[in-house]
Structure 1
């Protein structure tokens, strides 16, 4: 059984103490591929270097709204250059999006997002979207953007109706630790109703902890718990679900088997 953690901040400091050990822990739990999204220019080089060293690590380049600096535009030439020279393991733009729960001005966030939509069109790449308290505005912007490869709505925690709005725009739904919590009724119901063909697995490690592991850094080795919960919600063979989600993940990012 092969699993693909489609959203893991594996370059963060918590994993630096013994990176090989953390990789092995993930492999032992069936995690055969990991996608590392960037947060901004401060980690572009790091995630590219990790991917070059470990062929089963993929990455995305972009500006995360939470880390969006006032002078972010000065880094655009560098970002374009990196995308233009990137190898096949650069598979998306992101993590980017809108977060209306932080102090970063909305105007700056939207401007940065429009620029990244342009990059997705220019480089024919899918986009990895972050959305917090911004569903309606983000949907509105994506509808206008007409992105060639769609993308992934990361860390889904909404309703079935919201999920289907994204599906109709050509997006996959990134499902993580939220569904392991019984109180997350709305999201669990949405994932249960949603066809498996639209779902991707993710941990968002070291964030978004799994039920029973609160207070500890999340880890890609915990991805199996998300799969287990999806198998419960869909009452289907776990192996069959894993195979389909593996295919979804590779298809979403145009990765050849």
Structure 2
């Protein structure tokens, strides 16, 4: 069984055919989906997906949408998490170093969400672009009991090791399918079995061969194939490791 540990099935890109996309994923062996929240106006659509047995959901404020957030959203997020015990993590939150002009605000929102995760005893789903070292330092300082997921990891082995030593899982997605991603391939070969999950980030981060197309959760099976080949393991082994790791992190019920 496969779990897509990070996909945005609430996004408008799936409005025309969401059920068909879900059905296609199920046919590809994907039986569970983790859907993070990205901004206040998306929380209710995410929670609506969470009413379905095959979905688990998170709530957070994504750094990419920093200009759409308001300070009051943080108090609302606190209230939302407290009122919905089915929320499995705080996120997607984090730091995107590509946007230097908003970094100060990004850190404020990220720090508060880390504090909320600690308060509510939840893991975090972390967006981390061009900021691995500074984010690892902040996570070490905050010392969350339930750690979290470093979504779409693409750093060095040394950076991977920092996150793993703190108890965080690494999200492996479409980037692993590109032949040019030599550094990431070296990292994947060296990862412990209990340190990663598979994800798509649908509708974003298309796999090799699908550039320019909408990404979909069914393609987590292709991510699994690539990771298995890199690690010289079977597809069944990689799927089992990833699913067990996701269930442990997000405290999902056992596989039925």
Is residue 166 of structure 2 the alignment partner of residue 181 of structure 1? no
The TM-score normalised by the length of structure 1 is 0.96
Q: Secondary structure at the match of 2:89?
A: strand
Q: Gaps (5+ residues) in structure 2?
A: none
Which of 155, 159, 162 does residue 159 from structure 2 map onto? 162
**Alpha-carbon distance between aligned partners in 2 of 1:49 and 1:110, rounded to the nearest angstrom:** 29
Contact 1:174 1:199 in 2 (8 A): yes
- Tell me what 2:48 maps to: 49
TM-score (normalizing by structure 2) = 0.96
Contact kept in structure 1, 2:175 and 2:205, CA below 8 Å:
yes
The aligned counterpart of 2:23 is 24
Match of 2:202 in 1: 205
Aligned twin of 1:67: 65
Task: Tell me how large the CA RMSD over aligned residues is.
Answer: 1.2
- From 116, 119, 122, the equivalent of 1:119 is 116
Aligned to 2:2: 3
SS at match of 2:194: helix
Cα deviation for residue 74 of structure 1 reads: 1.1
Aligned to 2:34: 35
Q: Is the 8 A contact 1:68 1:104 kept in 2?
A: no
Residue 198 of structure 2 corresponds to residue 193 of structure 1? no
Post-superposition Cα deviations, 1:131-178, rounded to whole Å, max 9, x if no partner, equal 111112111111111111000100011111111110011100100010
Structure 1: stretches of 5+ with no match in the other structure: none
Alignment of 1:86-105 (within 5 A): 86-88=84-86, 90-102=87-99, 104-105=101-102
Instruction: Please state whether the residue corresponding to 1:195 is helix, strand or coil.
Output: coil
Q: Provide the aligned length of Structure 1 versus Structure 2.
A: 254
Provide the secondary structure at the position in 1 that maps to 2:238: helix
